[in-house]
């Protein structure tokens, strides 16, 4: 009797232990649910495929891999990062989402998906439920009317959209202006804000160049041809700039003829002829005049410029020296007119060659 009671007690303990073990292990499970957020869509619409898995934290679950389609006709547009949420009894819930679309109408059946489970030396697999999807085309107008293609929808401009173009345009304008200023500065080799001094009148330039020629002492060093070339160039340039006589391109006879046609002082015509004639003999016939004639022709050049310069009258203006030349105040004379001083009317003694 005692032996039977002990046997019964041992059996009860084994049953209780088994129940306790089954209770602990039965609290952990693997469950897979697949669904669509809608089962009816129009062609080209987008919809979501949701995969929910509830599993123990220590079990590894392998998901089916898809490339660009779930099945033929249903395309994958985007895969989202899985979302993991802890649950009770050491469980976790993982949700995966796929953005899908379809461009072919019809009834589609997404077959069950197989998931592989493994933990240590144990492995198994589980499948999901199939999913049904209906893709419809756009309904046709029952009246059979044909409509034109709709125009694109306009959107208002935003300052954030045009701001980069404004900044870019201003930068291009600034760079263009800077480049133009730089190139002009380089070409002229002058400061950007340099003061433009008025050009000297032709007679001032001629007197200054005669002074320079006198200081160089060319004929004193034996450079007689160069001396007369420079001397006639100064007079010819003065005639061209002051009286618009193109003397630089004319012969001596042509220059004298143009000068006489203007009805100028005959005495000056004689001095000009003797100067140009002697210069031609030196340059083309290798004439070597006496030193007194070299000095005389330089004096004739000075005298010709001084007696033919234009003078503008300024009220109460004092006589002012300009580069060693005194500009006399007198009656107003139009630019280009010749001024003959009283002393010019007197016949000076002329030296001829």
DSSP 48-93: EEEEEEEEETT-EEEPPP-SSEEETTEEEEEEPPPEEEE-STTEEE
Does position 10 have pLDDT exceeding 80, yes or no? no
Cross-strand pairs, 34:
51
Residue 172: what pLDDT? 95
Q: Is the pLDDT of residue 135 over 90?
A: yes
Question: Could you tell me which residue, 227 or 334, shows the higher pLDDT?
Answer: 227
Q: Stretch 189-203: mean pLDDT, rounded? A: 71
Strand partners of residue 135: 41, 106
- Strand 131-136 versus strand 40-42 pairing type: parallel
Question: Domain ranges in the chain?
Answer: 28-136, 165-193, 202-308
| pLDDT of amino acid 193 | 58
Q: Is the predicted pLDDT of residue 150 greater than 70, yes or no?
A: yes
Q: How confident is the model at residue 39 (pLDDT cuts 50, 70, 90)?
A: very high
Report the alpha-carbon distance of residue 171 to residue 166 in Å, rounded: 9
The whole-angstrom separation of Cα 297 and Cα 276 is 9
Q: What percent of the chain has pLDDT over 70?
A: 75
Residue 320 has pLDDT above 90, yes or no: no
**pLDDT of 353 higher than 60:** no
Residue 100 is predicted with a pLDDT of: 94
> Fold for domain 28-136?
Immunoglobulin-like (2.60.40)
Question: How far is Cα 211 from Cα 209, in angstroms, rounded to an integer?
Answer: 5
Mean pLDDT across 340-347: 37
């Amino acid at each position: 009797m005692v032996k039977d009671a002990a046997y019964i007690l041992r059996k009860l303990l084994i049953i209780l232990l088994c129940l306790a073990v089954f209770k602990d292990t039965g609290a952990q499970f693997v469950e897979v649910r697949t669904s669509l957020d809608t089962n009816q869509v129009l062609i080209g619409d987008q919809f979501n495929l949701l995969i929910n898995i509830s599993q123990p934290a220590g079990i590894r679950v392998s998901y089916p891999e898809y490339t660009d389609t779930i099945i033929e006709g249903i395309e994958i547009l985007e895969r989202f990062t899985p979302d993991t949420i802890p649950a009770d009894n050491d469980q976790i819930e993982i949700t995966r989402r796929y953005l899908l679309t379809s461009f072919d109408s019809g009834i589609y059946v997404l077959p069950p998906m197989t998931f592989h489970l493994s933990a240590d030396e144990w492995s198994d697999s589980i499948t999901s439920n199939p999913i049904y999807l209906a893709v419809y085309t756009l309904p046709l107008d029952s009246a059979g009317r044909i409509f034109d293609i709709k125009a694109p929808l306009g959107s208002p401009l935003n300052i954030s959209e045009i701001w980069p173009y404004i900044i870019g345009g201003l930068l291009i304008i600034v760079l263009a202006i800077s480049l133009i200023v730089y190139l002009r500065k380089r070409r002229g080799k002058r400061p950007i804000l340099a003061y433009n001094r008025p050009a000297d009148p032709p007679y001032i330039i001629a007197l200054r160049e005669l002074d320079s020629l006198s200081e160089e002492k060319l004929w004193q060093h034996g450079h007689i041809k160069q001396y007369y070339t420079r001397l006639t160039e100064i007079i010819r340039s003065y005639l061209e700039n002051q009286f618009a006589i193109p003397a630089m391109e004319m012969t001596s006879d042509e220059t004298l003829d143009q000068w006489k046609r203007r009805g100028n002082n005959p005495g000056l015509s004689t001095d000009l002829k003797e100067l140009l004639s002697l210069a031609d003999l030196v340059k083309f016939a290798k004439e070597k005049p006496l030193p007194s004639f070299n000095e005389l022709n330089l004096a004739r050049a000075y005298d010709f410029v001084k007696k033919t310069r234009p003078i503008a009258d300024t009220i109460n203006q004092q006589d002012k020296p300009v580069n060693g030349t005194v500009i006399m105040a007198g009656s107003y004379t139009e630019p280009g007119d010749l001024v003959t001083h009283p002393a010019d009317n007197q016949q000076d003694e002329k030296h001829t060659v």
